Amino acid sequence: MRLRILGCSGGELPRHRTTCFLVDGRLAIDAGALTATLTLRQLARVDDIILTHSHFDHVKDVPLAADLLIGHRKTPLRVHASSECAATLRDSIFNGRLWPDFTRLPTRQNPVLQIRPFTPGKRFKAGRYAVDPVAVHHPVESVGFVLSDGKATIGVSGDTGPTTAFWKRINAERDLVALLVEMSFPNALQRLADVSGHLTPNTLARELAKVNRNGYPVYLYHLKPAYEAELRRDLRKLALDNVRILAMGDEFHF
């Protein structure tokens, strides 16, 4: 499994792109940096996008990619979203007002885009990958993913505050090679993190204490660019073992 970090920030500024992880050039986890990073040819190779939730920074390149891909794929781009997220995509984005309905373009019979709802807690397939979506704690329906290609398995927390079911699922996974976890606000903004369903370094440390780690690394993402320096200082003070912050452009082979 090849994991490429297209974007890993909790906001967009120069040198900061929002969440998007590319697996083997074929599957994207969230869609915050597809069109700003990939060439048209690379974008056309992506068959599946799995979305953690409906917030703009995680879905924004789904409509942009659909517009670019007309005439460049023989099969629809498959977008896998929870039932609530799928409804938001249909009602609030592909509604003919904010954006054309690319689930019916260029024709109803051969659209450039398919939206495929999934149920949190129920495994589904995205191409050759098995995906377990696990509900996490966020103001909208949000999931973390445990994703496997049959040889390697990674966990991605999605946007979340303190949660329970996701860590239980992680602890049940024997073949985990890496865990990607959000961390958004510094400790000084703990109340904001709590009400918005995000982690600070302090709550991250408490959440990782729930995990029975077996030597695999933990990679942090979704840092708010305006607070990145403060977040890094807070994290250093905790001296968490085998935990590091992701950088845009990182690549891993598992």
Rounded percentage of the chain residues whose pLDDT exceeds 70: 100
Q: Taking all residues of the chain, what is their mean pLDDT, rounded to a whole number?
A: 97
Rounded Cα gap, residues 213 and 65, in angstroms? 37
Domains of the chain, CATH where assigned: 2-245 (3.60.15.10)
pLDDT digits (tens, 9 = 90+) for 224-252: 999 999 999 999 999 999 999 999 999 99
Q: What is the pLDDT of residue 11?
A: 98
Q: Which stretches of 185-227 are assigned E, i.e. beta strand?
A: 218-221
Is there a contact between 176 and 25 (Cβ–Cβ < 8 Å)?
no
CA distances from 180 to 3, 19, 75, 215 (A): 11, 11, 30, 14
Rounded Cα gap, residues 61 and 20, in angstroms? 10
pLDDT digits (tens, 9 = 90+) for 18-29: 999 999 999 999
Does residue 31 have a pLDDT over 90? yes
pLDDT confidence of 213, banded at 50, 70, 90?
A: confident
Amino acid occupying residue 170: I
Q: What is the pLDDT of residue 247?
A: 98
- Among all chains, which residue has been given the structure tokens 């946007």? 159
Is there a contact between 89 and 62 (Cβ–Cβ < 8 Å)?
yes
Q: Which has the closest alpha carbon to 45: 23, 63, 21, 14? A: 23
Does residue 104 have a pLDDT over 90? yes
pLDDT digits (tens, 9 = 90+) for 153-211: 999 999 999 999 999 999 999 889 999 999 999 999 999 999 999 999 999 999 999 99
Q: What is the pLDDT of residue 214?
A: 81
Does residue 99 have a pLDDT over 90? yes
70-79 residues labelled b (16+ CB within 10 A) or e (exposed): eeebeebbbb
Rounded Cα gap, residues 19 and 110, in angstroms? 29
Is the pTM for the entire model greater than 0.85? Answer: yes
For the segment 67-91, the average pLDDT, to the nearest whole number, is 97
Q: What is the pLDDT of residue 120?
A: 97
